[in-house]
Structure 1
């Protein structure tokens, strides 16, 4: 078989079972593709030795029979997941040289399932960003281009390296994390599939924390079936994470029938934003028509508190970040600033953090510290928490009224050029999360599915939002949408 790195998880798994290829061959194909793709800056810590060792072990397991679905499949791991003995920096200078002595629960589950880690993937620093431009490793670059234009485009953020690597066929799939859209927005920008499961479905243990009540890990894949396969391997109760749900993990792939007859799909009127590009509006209408043609009932719904979601998110997330990032002080691990004679512990903290944290992280830590400070706690943080409760109730009311899933755009535009949204106005960048943050605030599952191309030939995605713990049902609706949309476009290789 040629071009093994271009396979998806399901195709590669079936080829491995039939004996058409081996995990070693698959892994070698991916490692070769990674080495030829430095221009994308997707893989930032390559681990070929670990990959080959795991591939050989996987081939033995497959030969012996009884190998799980992920066995032998080469994947990338976002740099936010701690991986034993491998640099895990969360794309920050402050964690320079940090090699954990432990493995995150999610990456351990994937390893136990026999998957092959190819290396660590680029991301926004501490997952704070929507364009992968805040990384200490430099920008991740999308494999997509606008027509004949050579301008480098963002693969989205924060899981930009994961999106770029999957879209460019450097790996069969990758892990991502989603705090306000960091799986779904990059998936939409790169023509890939990304699912954020219900909060608590995947363990957060061993994942570098950004905002603990919002963060959730999920897979980024080439198809909805692949997402179902990988999500099942990542999920499960973990006693080391107090927010991890003690629920059995269903066989998500077995639930992919594509039959959505009789399902009610809600279209929220509040997501029709002023100034939304016509192409996004048309894609949304087309998506609703596709689901209707597949037998679903399309109903108009209202989520009245949507307009407060972004401001509430940008109070709660920085508040939690300022608390979580207080542990980076130059004392126990990571980088420590060089001190001058007479410097005490306060100077060490100040210099280490000034050197170690990038501008966006500093901005969010300062915002977070401000909203938690004595005079502003009630005015900002407590108020944002109350708004969050109202947003959650909006969704509960809609689902209680019989709606099975909600269809929205995934992003307000196609991918933009690197450097086009400048430092001058960070709010412009924050507006990229307008369709995705509500899902995190409410703790719901959400999936981005590629559904078309814009006039410049760039991918556009649609988002489906599901009921809590019903990822199987959500994946099945996404599967029907994917089949109807028939998206097969791939980026032209330039790298």
Structure 2
């Protein structure tokens, strides 16, 4: 029999329905794995065994009555950016180190409505600002994968590195995550799992600690494309508490996974062949193109001419919005408070003590580009370029049904190998930020291993609110790639 921690979400739902194991047994198996591996991986900031077991007990009662929901009894990790009533929510920052929300985010409320079990709060880069999970005030996360013959500790990617590591190492069956510039898709690729950033507005942002409000979008991570579809089906939906939430019905995402790709046109953007791209990434991309062609799709070369401006545009827009959103952390209303000689001194001491270096760096950049004399030169110009990037995609949809591209320019790197160079760290997001600027869905699928045995992923980008086609293409790619490799640090089978 499959070990409980090795189930996919789809398999676990079947096993629970057939009473082959109980939700309590499934939850206990994951809690034991967390107890054994989390001290090393640091994937969770807060573990909630009492809450999880109580929810599992309620799930077993629902299963016994035949009242199971779509996620009844499924143990999940919740990125510590989603407010959870009665459970500490830190955003991996000292400034929120002891914050216990009195309310539930819409995403987590939807998951609880559908019967999910919450194992705890997953680690992340502070305020979701980072690409390595090295900026967390609670310490970095270790990627459960290792290079062949090398015990170097690798980063899991960021900002959703704790979510990705937890899923890859079997510390959860799935996880919530957020993606502002690639924070779902990049760590998913680094950890050999699947993850989708939905269309902006598909999932409510209410109760999710804000980074950049016009870019942030919540989505799921799991070990298979189908599992991501199952989770997104619960997470998505209109929410009147979020003014950017789309009033659209939630399709059966999981059913779309079986559609196939016959007759679909798959765009191959020539601008994603960036200078210095490793040969392994190019080879993986070509392999993915061939796989989809064999499955019945037609590759079509397209041009997204403003792609070259996406990274600088993102690193103007995102810090500008961050500087505005993080102004609320002043030491007066909630969170950390450092006493000062007057109000200004209190603000300065609180923020100096509460924010890490990367958060302070982005606040300063954002404040600068919004300041008098620079607003037109930087922020306003970035918004105009953002519109051109979106227009590139809008024009592409007249020719293709989805787009295939690399997810990252490399496999996972070692802790400390790039963190001293902020610009090099920002370049990690080169393939992912366009989807956030355009507001379109993007799915990462693990597709192969590099020469050192580390996972590499490809991403599928889709039309706004056409996650169904994205899942169909992703599932076809997943079947063809048949990625079965597992990390060296994981639950014992």
Secondary structure of the 2:403 match is strand
Rounded Cα–Cα distance in structure 2 between residues aligned with 1:493 and 1:217? 27
Secondary structure of the 2:397 match is helix
1:132 counterpart residue number: 133
Alpha-carbon shift at residue 475 of structure 1 (Å): 0.4
Which of the residues 359, 362, 385 maps onto 2:360?
362
Query: What pairs with 1:373-452 in structure 2 (closer than 5 Å)?
Result: 373-401=371-399, 403-423=400-420, 425-452=421-448
Residue 486 (structure 2) pairs with residue 490 (structure 1): yes
Length, aligned pairs only: 490
Rounded Cα–Cα distance in structure 1 between residues aligned with 2:356 and 2:119? 27
Alpha-carbon shift at residue 494 of structure 1 (Å): 7.3
Cα deviation digits, residues 316-357 of structure 1 (max 9, x gap): 000000000000000011101143xxx100000001001100
Cα deviation digits, residues 180-215 of structure 1 (max 9, x gap): 000000000000000000000000000000000000
Cα deviation digits, residues 49-72 of structure 1 (max 9, x gap): 110010010111112113222111
Alpha-carbon shift at residue 255 of structure 1 (Å): 1.6
Secondary structure of the 1:400 match is coil
Residue 42 (structure 2) pairs with residue 44 (structure 1): no
Ranges in structure 1 where 5+ consecutive residues have no aligned partner: none
Alpha-carbon shift at residue 422 of structure 1 (Å): 2.8
TM-score, normalised via structure 2 length: 0.98
2:83 counterpart residue number: 82
Rounded Cα–Cα distance in structure 2 between residues aligned with 1:241 and 1:336? 29
Cα deviation digits, residues 426-479 of structure 1 (max 9, x gap): 000000000000000000000000000000000000000001101111101100
1:189 counterpart residue number: 190
Q: Segments of 4+ in structure 1 off by > 4 A?
A: none
Rounded Cα–Cα distance in structure 1 between residues aligned with 2:358 and 2:258? 43
Query: What pairs with 1:62-461 in structure 2 (closer than 5 Å)?
Result: 62-339=63-340, 343-401=341-399, 403-423=400-420, 425-461=421-457
Rounded Cα–Cα distance in structure 1 between residues aligned with 2:89 and 2:315? 26
Rounded Cα–Cα distance in structure 2 between residues aligned with 1:298 and 1:16? 41
RMSD: 0.9
Rounded Cα–Cα distance in structure 2 between residues aligned with 1:232 and 1:158? 23
Alpha-carbon shift at residue 106 of structure 1 (Å): 0.1
Cα deviation digits, residues 64-106 of structure 1 (max 9, x gap): 1132221110000000000011110100001121000000000
Kept after mapping to 1: 8 A contact 2:447/2:457: yes
Rounded Cα–Cα distance in structure 2 between residues aligned with 1:333 and 1:449? 39
Secondary structure of the 2:221 match is strand
Kept after mapping to 1: 8 A contact 2:195/2:444: yes
Residue 20 (structure 2) pairs with residue 23 (structure 1): no
Kept after mapping to 1: 8 A contact 2:135/2:358: yes
Which of the residues 450, 466, 469 maps onto 1:470?
466
